[in-house]
Amino acid sequence: TTRYSITLLPGDGIGPEVISVAKTVLKLAGSLEGIEFSFQQMPMGGAALDLTGVPLPEETLSAAQRADAILLGAIGGYKWDKNEKHLKPETGLLQLREGLKVFANLRPATVLPQLVDSSTLKKDVAEGVDLMVVRELTGGIYFGKPRGFGTNEKGEDIGFNTEVYATHEIDRIARIAFEIARKRRGQLCSVDKANVLEASMFWRKRVTAIASEYPDVELSHMYVDNAAMQLVRYPKQFDTIVTNNIFGDILSDEASMITGSIGMLPSASLGESGPGLFEPIHGSAPDIAGQDKANPLATILSAAMLLKYGLGEANAAKRIENAVLDTLNRGFRTGDIYSAGNKLVGCKEMGEEVLKSV
């Protein structure tokens, strides 16, 4: 048997519920492929704030750094919304990404035939959408310096941030994106605002340079405002998208909403080496927390990404993906993806049905 150690970060709101379900699925899929896991659960986000006073305790970060992979639930909630920046759950997440050096955020947006009606887009526009946003995650305006508050030359108060990218930051995310596009449909669209921003001109220049290493991938460029339109107009035109941290934040959320089923969408955050971070793209949904209503499928599919991208265990990953499809085909739906004629189930029951299909 192969052994892996996994750090679980349930976090806040519905986080604990979906993590507990996903853990059982991960365990079973692993054991059927001769894989054993040791799990270590650590506090993070608002839960960590309440317990330790900081959103990412040192013990949590070092446990995560030592693990083979990390599965995160969700963080945040009204309770901590008014906190100062360094005491916000979100800050813990940014610190975790930085601490793990996971610079590549992979966010697939797929419209499953079973769920095409959940999209607010017309059926013929939504069906068949299958794209991947590769978002730079540890650079750009999220981390750029100088940043802060101050006064300008007129003595007026200002708030400011720096959007900055260096060669190696663009090169490495571009390579990951080209590799992914190569394994998909061979099309990479790099999104920037090179008609206005120097940071984007430099981004475009480096992505274009790296393209020569991938002659089999077709590279195109698109301005971010146009990309925001094209995702609504004709999302099927996209295969793989690569973009900076802030544009990726916006476009990947737009793309996921286009599928109409954000309760279904996983994500992976990967570094050069070291453990990857896997999490559903949905939030902590405090309004339904603790009511067994959450859709665990995004976290279960994040566990599949963990197996595939984090551990290289493609077979076990496939088991989970197939089990999710099979469970949908058998008509089980949580509230967020329910439609007439199907069987409405809660978080736990959905997990049990997936287990049956693994």
Q: What residue ranges bind its own copies (CB under 8 A)?
A: 85, 88, 90, 94, 120-122, 125, 141-142, 144, 147-149, 152, 154, 156-168, 193, 195-203, 224-226, 228-234, 246-247, 249-254, 256-258, 262
Q: Is 196 in the site for ligand IPM (CB under 6 A)?
A: yes
In 3D space, the residue among 279, 238, 282 whose CA is nearest the CA of residue 260 turns out to be: 282
CB of 93 to ligand IPM, least distance (A): 6
Q: What is each CA distance from 90 to 18, 85, 264, 355, in whole angstroms?
A: 19, 8, 22, 32
In terms of CB distance, is 28 or 173 closer to ligand IPM? 173
Active site residue 225: yes
Q: Which one of 249, 308, 309, 336 is the catalytic residue?
A: 249
Task: Report what 258 binds from its own copies, ligand IPM, none; CB cut-off 5-8 Å by kind.
Answer: its own copies
Cα dist from 37 to 4, 6, 114, whole Å: 5, 7, 32
Minimum distance from residue 33 beta carbon to ligand IPM (Å): 30
Catalytic-residue membership of 287: no
Distances (CA, A) of 141 to 3, 75, 195, 245: 38, 22, 18, 7
213 binds, among ligand IPM, its own copies, none (CB under 5 to 8 A by kind): none
Which member of 68, 136, 239, 249 binds ligand IPM (CB under 6 A)? Answer: 249
Measured from the CB atom, the residue of 68 and 169 that comes closer to its own copies is 169
Task: Name residues contacting ligand IPM, limited to 94-133 (CB under 6 A).
Answer: 94
Residue 249: active-site member:
yes
Q: At what angle do helices 245-259 and 224-233 cross, to 10 degrees?
A: 10
Residues 6+ apart with CB under 8 A from 347: 14, 17, 18, 21, 292, 293, 294, 295, 296, 334
Minimum CB–partner distance for residue 208 and ligand IPM (Å):
20
Smallest separation, CB 72 to its own copies (Å): 17
- Closest by CA position to 327, among listed 311, 308, 343: 343
Nearest distance in Å: CB 317, its own copies: 27
Spatial distance between the Cα atoms of 344 and 331, rounded to a whole number of angstroms? 9
| CA distance linking residue 52 with residue 261, whole number of Å | 35
Question: Could you say which of ligand IPM, its own copies, none residue 226 binds, taking C-beta under 5 to 8 angstroms by partner kind?
Answer: its own copies
Please identify the residue of the shown chain whose CB is closest to the bound ligand IPM: 90
Whether 304 and 265 have beta carbons less than 8 Å apart is answered as no
| Catalytic residue of the set 130, 171, 253, 326 | 253
Per CB under 6 A, does 93 bind ligand IPM? yes
CA distances from 282 to 15, 147, 244, 299, 335 (A): 10, 28, 20, 9, 15
Task: Out of 50, 81, 117, 225, pick the active-site residue.
Answer: 225
Distance in Å, CB of 168 to its own copies, minimum? 6
Of the residues 59, 117, 213, 225, which one makes contact with ligand IPM according to CB under 6 A: 225
The two three-digit tokens of residue 107, written as one number: 């966010």
Residue 242: strand, helix, or coil: strand
* Residue 309 exposed, middle or buried by CB count within 10 Å (0-12, 13-18, 19+): buried
- Which positions from 73 through 92 interact with ligand IPM, judged by CB under 6 A? 90
| Residue 64 contacts residue 92 (beta carbons within 8 Å) | no
* Catalytic residue flag (residue 122): no
Of the CA atoms within 13 Å of residue 85, those in its CB half-sphere come to 4
Report how far apart, in Å, the C-alpha atoms of 308 and of each of 21, 128, 357 are.
19, 23, 19
Residue from the set 152, 195, 212, 273 that interacts with ligand IPM by CB under 6 A: 195
Q: Which does 54 bind (CB under 5 to 8 A by kind): its own copies, ligand IPM, none?
A: none
What's the closest the beta carbon of residue 97 comes to ligand IPM, in angstroms?
Answer: 8
Q: Which residues are catalytic?
A: 142, 193, 225, 249, 253
Task: Catalog residues that contact ligand IPM under the rule CB under 6 A.
Answer: 90, 93-94, 195-196, 225, 249
